[in-house]
A and B are shown apart, each in its own frame.
Chain A
Amino acid sequence: MRLYHVSKSYSAGHFALRDVSIEFARGEFVFLTGPSGAGKTTLLRLIFAAERPSEGQILVLGRNAPRLGPRAVPPLRRRIGVVFQDFKLLPRRTVEENVAMALEVVGAPRREVRAKVFSVLKQLGLQHRRFHHPPSLSGGEQQRVAIARALVNEPDILLADEPTGNLDHELALEIMDLIAGAATRGTTVVVATHDQAIVERYGKRCVRLEGGRIVEDHAAPGGMP
């Protein structure tokens, strides 16, 4: 995954990202840090083709993301899991149904969907909650459901935007352990966070953004990942 001289501006003269060039290796775990408005979310949205850059090229899984037509974006997104601070779960669907959506869009047979959903929920310790609805779950459990949805397709890339922002410290560590687990299975993981304690605890590569520019890029102590 590579970004070459990427800039993004929403209005003339105001840049959310400015001339950003960065590379993420396969299976790498990277923290994006920086204050609010630094451009962390914009960077993630550019990677999963929710937005197009004003300038520059973005190579994701061998595809030039900004040049993808409307038909080519969905197949790319099926290989990218995304987790948000506000979970983005459907309150009227059960946990199982929320997670199953990621498999149903590719037309996976019902039996395969059930088996894979059960497997990922078990892995995240949520199998007993699969018939519950999100509003009846705690914040930590809801974020685990969102992670389950992002991982059920066994994505090549996992993007997480402030995944622990709504959780207390204990739960935040629990969630980060689950996300970090994905990287050990070969998934490239990029986590945007402003929680410095978490960044320090995991000791991974840390890219700091300020005003839309990369101001620091610390490699993981002792090398990758």
Chain B
Amino acid sequence: MSRLLARMATLVRSALRGFASSPLTSGVAVVTIAVTLVLVGAFALLVANMESVLVRFGDALRVTAFLEDGLGAEAQQALVASASKLQGVESVSLVSREQALERFRRGVGRGAALLEGLSENPLPASLEISLAPQLRSSEGLARVADAVAQLPGVSDVASGRDWVEGYLRGVALVRGVGTGLAVILALASLLIIANTIRLAVLSRRDELEILSLVGASRSYVAAPFLMEGWLQGVLGGALALAALYAIFRLVLPGLEFGLELVLGGVAPRFFELREGLALVLAGSGLGLFGAAVAVASESRA
């Protein structure tokens, strides 16, 4: 155990020594990882927030079934019962013709005076059908709307499907751009880290020669460089998380209009602890992989 601890302590000291001996190159690697992860994190946050809009507006995602004129109260209640039994339906409420007119009147405000001239109520009775949470999607809306349309006594069905589909296309676009950008930036980061570690290997040729002379194993020689890359990744990830949080707290409130447009007034959320840790982990993975590439290519040289 004490040997393992001694080994770990030597390893960390050696990695820190490497870090300190070339602060500029190491700093560039850390900043590169941080910039990559800030951009990737920003896209991830945007996608997560856009997706949460669908969940938060889930209550508003409902199917409205307009009923044929002349259906009696009993037939309407029978329809409510039938609709409630459909798969994926959470709740069904009946809106009578009178209630519909009253809502319309409240909705148009001062214009309600125009309705005074109507001799009869032109609005049909309807069923407002809420979806179970797992079906609050474009497909869910379509499935329930199709099933409701088959019910006898239903004249027409309206759902927010088009809106949901458009919004989902937007989310997919943002996710696609984000993923593409993430891949390109991650490759660029890998190259920079690999070069940083390669420079570190070259600048410590003498040390490596002596280590080999006194019987250091390959893994012993490689470990400090891997640790150095990993450390750069962790620092880059932490820096990115801090920068994203600063942007979220300080810059985002100034972009109220744009946010309103994309998120529909839903308050944006920051990463949860788990997601923040995943970002740092991604940084450490980038650092470690970049260092592994450099060590492998140098040991072949």
**B10 & A104 in contact (Cβ 8 Å cutoff):** yes
Q: Is the interface of B mostly helix, strand, loop or mixed?
A: helix
Which one of B177-185, B206-214, B271-279 contacts A? B206-214
Number of B residues near A (Cβ < 8 Å) is 22
The 8 Å CB contact of B2, one of A74, A80, A109, is A109
The 8 Å CB contact of A108, one of B3, B207, B209, is B3
| A106 to chain B: closest residue by CB | B215
In whole angstroms, what is the CA distance A153 to B211 when docked? 14
**B9 & A74 in contact (Cβ 8 Å cutoff):** no
| B213 to chain A: closest residue by CB | A82
The 8 Å CB contact of B215, one of A77, A88, A113, is A77
In whole angstroms, what is the CA distance A173 to B242 when docked? 62
| B206 to chain A: closest residue by CB | A90
8 Å CB interface, B191-214 against A: 206-207, 209-214
Task: Decide: A78 near B214, CB < 8 A? Known: A88-B206, A88-B209, A110-B9.
Answer: yes
The 8 Å CB contact of B214, one of A70, A77, A110, is A77
In whole angstroms, what is the CA distance A20 to B220 when docked? 34
Number of A residues near B (Cβ < 8 Å) is 26
| A146 to chain B: closest residue by CB | B210
**A107 & B207 in contact (Cβ 8 Å cutoff):** no
The 8 Å CB contact of A101, one of B9, B211, B217, B218, is B211
Q: Which residues of A contact B4 (CB under 8 A)?
A: 107
The 8 Å CB contact of B217, one of A71, A80, A110, is A71
Q: Is A223 an interface residue (CB 8 A)?
A: no
Shortest distance between the CB of A181 and any CB in chain B (Å) = 20
Q: Is B7 an interface residue (CB 8 A)?
A: yes
8 Å CB interface, B203-242 against A: 206-207, 209-218, 220
Q: Is B255 an interface residue (CB 8 A)?
A: no
Q: Which residues of B contact A101 (CB under 8 A)?
A: 210-211, 214
Shortest distance between the CB of A81 and any CB in chain B (Å) = 8
**B216 & A74 in contact (Cβ 8 Å cutoff):** yes
B21-45 vs A, Cβ < 8 Å mask (1 yes, 0 no): 1000000000000000000000000
Measured CB to CB, the residues of B under 8 A from A are: 2-7, 9-10, 21, 206-207, 209-218, 220
Measured CB to CB, the residues of A under 8 A from B are: 48, 70-71, 74-80, 82, 88, 90, 92, 101-102, 104-110, 113, 149, 153
For the complex with contacts A88-B213, A105-B217, A109-B2, 17 further pairs of A-B residues with Cβ separation under 8 Å are A70-B218, A74-B217, A76-B215, A77-B212, A82-B213, A88-B206, A90-B210, A92-B21, A102-B214, A104-B6, A104-B10, A105-B214, A105-B216, A107-B10, A109-B5, A110-B6, A113-B6
A-B contact pairs, 16 of them (CB 8 A): A71-B217, A78-B214, A79-B215, A82-B213, A88-B206, A88-B209, A92-B21, A101-B211, A101-B214, A102-B214, A102-B215, A104-B6, A105-B215, A105-B217, A106-B215, A107-B7
